[in-house]
Structure 1
Amino acid sequence: MNPILRNIIAVIVGILVGGFVNISLVETGNAVFPIEGYDITTPEGLKGAISQFEFKNYIFPFLGHAIGTLIGAMVAGIIAATHKMKFAMAIGFFFLLGGIIMVVSYPGAMWFNVADLLLAYIPMAWIGGKIATCKTPKS
């Protein structure tokens, strides 16, 4: 397969897989720790509910952002034909942009916003890239 096409596919699949993991974990958190009286599947409901969030309500969003980025970056790095770490990091920057948009649109607790933006995206993309570029030892 043409390396450029393969690299494009790597980014698309990395975003889709990472996004699926992210959404799955966030939705799991909504089921495990629901906020009574709010439909947080809508933007209006989420804006109203954020003021009611406790520490436990931030666990799954953080895990979704971090693990979604990690898996998406790893997948992109594995699929990419060249510059595997660069493509893994591109996934991290893409998800970081999404995180910044979320912080601006739905301001939550400052400690969560700082931890999420600093720990869930770029470090996880780097780890995913390292996993993707890891060479298996010869037996």
Structure 2
Amino acid sequence: MFFINNFLARKYMPKLILFIEDEPTLQKTLGRALEQEGYEVQSALDGQSGLALVKRIKPNLILLDLILPKMDGFAVLKELKKDADTKEIPVIVLTNLESPQDIERALSEGATNYLVKANYELNDVVKKIKELV
């Protein structure tokens, strides 16, 4: 009975997205757009608290900025991917860094996808998320 209830709960509960981003306006705007699509969204304003929150809430997907206070996104990625409990969580990097070196580094550290903020509309980000969860 527990297995069936657990399976049904995971299937029908809203997918949980953690948005680690230090710009509150972007957090709110994208968070609202995702909630309108049926996702549950939690946020963190820095890498350190974001990493702690990941371990506590086990999101279905992480949106991660790279330029963050306390712990940058590269360090967060590295920590996520070396932990057995978090290494399988898809991570979409959403950042203003667009150099080939930054893109290569993030992908080699375990990012699932890399989006440059200036090149994408909110709808594009939502579409990428839908492809992954």
Length-normalised TM-score, structure 1: 0.31
Between Structure 1 and Structure 2, which shows a larger proportion of strand residues?
Answer: 2
Q: Which has the higher contact order (CA 8 A, sep 6+)?
A: 1
Length-normalised TM-score, structure 2: 0.32
Give the structure with higher Rg (CA).
1
